């Protein structure tokens, strides 16, 4: 039996592309004895941990998930045997990754914990759209928020809208209609909005629209979880075609054509 003290590394696997892993993450995986693998991480990440025992501990909203308490017990069990446990989390471990609960449980058991940061899906979504979340022409900051509070309620959308920051909303697809409606009570209907599904991964999908069409356009295009919802004027800087413009283009009518047609109709009515 290993008499050396074990430890746990909370490792941020990023949005999916293994090229976005940090060197520190790769080194931790190479040294791992046990890997607890999150569902949202790229499964190929285990190739970087050739000597480790891999245990899948998926947690997905609306799906059968591994209980959080069980994951914490697994980490404690193996670390107390003197092993190096790497808890692989999709995105950034410290952002909506239940890291606070795991840190408390491990420290309470006297286990050393190391944290390896990574790229959150909110940043990957912004990169896919080609926008700055903190474009100073449009806002003075960004607010990262989950659509689900611990008591299964919703955040104070009016207060968040009042910040005039870019909103990066996680785990919001099941509530996209209600959250869009709540934000519309405080923000203009034409506020730029976007949905990015599987941000940063090979299957990434992007939708650029406006707040009053957000829920309908996302449903029409078949967007689902996991996805990040971005709302705010800074999102309007994206070169991604807007959903309604793309629809018009598919119908053989460009946005410019549509505008020109509306102009001719207005002139005819005036005459």
Q: List pLDDT tens digits, range 187-226.
A: 999 999 999 999 999 899 999 999 999 999 999 999 999 9
Query: Does 146 lie in the same domain as 96?
Result: no
pLDDT of residue 254: 42
Phi, psi at 11, each rounded to 5° = -105, 125
Catalytic residues: 38, 59, 171
Q: Are residues 87 and 100 in the same domain?
A: yes
Residue 269 pLDDT exceeds 70? no
Q: What are phi and psi of 148, to 5 degrees?
A: -120, 120
Neighbours of 231 (CB within 10 A): 27
Do 28 and 139 share a domain, yes or no? no
* Cα–Cα distance, 260 to 267 (Å, whole number): 11
Residues 100 and 125 in one domain: no
127, 205: one domain: yes
The half-sphere exposure of 248 on its side-chain side, counting CA atoms within 13 A, is 13
Shared domain check, 66 and 170: no
* 230 and 196 together in one domain: yes
Q: Is residue 248 one of the residues assigned to a domain?
A: no
**What does the pLDDT look like over 151-191, one tens digit per residue?**
778 899 999 999 999 999 999 999 999 999 999 999 999 99
Residues 109 and 183 in one domain: no
**Rounded distance between C-alpha atoms, residue 244 and residue 249, angstroms:** 9
Domain enclosing residue 106, as ranges: 7-116
Residues 13 and 32 in one domain: yes
Q: Domain of 235: which CATH number?
A: 3.30.950.10
Pair 236, 147 in one domain? yes
Whether the CB-CB separation of 212 and 190 falls below 8 Å is answered with yes
CA distance 97 to 162: 26
Contact 134, 166 (CB under 8 A): yes
Is there a single domain that holds both residue 151 and residue 223? Answer: yes
Contact 225, 61 (CB under 8 A): yes
Q: How do beta strands 7-12 and 34-37 pair?
A: unpaired
- Within this chain, do residues 86 and 150 fall inside the same structural domain, yes or no? no
245 within a domain of the structure (yes/no) = no
Residue 152 located in a structural domain: yes
Q: What is the pLDDT of residues 26-41, one digit of tens each?
A: 999 999 999 999 998 9
Dump pLDDT digits (tens) for 51-98. 999 999 976 555 567 899 999 999 999 999 999 999 999 999 999 989
CA 136 – CA 134 distance, rounded (Å)? 6
| Domain count within the chain | 2
């Amino acid at each position: 039996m290993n008499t050396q003290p074990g430890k746990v590394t909370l490792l941020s696997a990023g949005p999916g592309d293994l090229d976005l892993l940090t060197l520190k993450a790769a080194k931790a995986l190479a040294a791992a004895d046990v890997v607890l693998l999150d569902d949202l991480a790229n499964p190929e990440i285990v190739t970087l941990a050739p000597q480790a025992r891999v245990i899948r501990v998926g947690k997905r909203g609306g799906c059968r998930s591994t209980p959080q308490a069980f994951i914490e017990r697994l980490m404690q069990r193996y670390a107390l045997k003197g092993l190096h446990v790497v808890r692989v989390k999709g995105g950034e471990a410290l952002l909506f990754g239940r890291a606070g609960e795991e840190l408390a449980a491990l420290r309470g058991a006297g286990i050393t914990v190391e944290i390896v940061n990574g790229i959150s899906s909110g940043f990957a979504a912004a990169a896919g759209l080609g926008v700055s979340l903190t474009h100073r022409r449009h806002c003075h900051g960004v607010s990262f928020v989950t659509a689900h509070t611990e008591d299964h309620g919703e955040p104070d959308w009016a207060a968040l809208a009042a910040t005039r920051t870019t909103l990066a909303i996680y785990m919001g697809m099941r509530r996209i209609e209600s959250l869009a409606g709540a934000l519309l009570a405080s923000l203009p209907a034409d506020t730029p909005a976007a949905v990015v599904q599987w941000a940063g991964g090979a299957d990434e999908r992007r939708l650029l629209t406006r707040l009053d069409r957000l829920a309908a356009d996302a449903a029409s295009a078949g967007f689902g979880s996991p996805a990040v919802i971005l709302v705010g004027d800074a999102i309007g800087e994206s070169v991604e075609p807007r959903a309604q413009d793309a629809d018009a283009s598919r119908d053989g009518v460009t946005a410019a054509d549509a505008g020109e047609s509306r102009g001719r109709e207005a002139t005819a009515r005036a005459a």
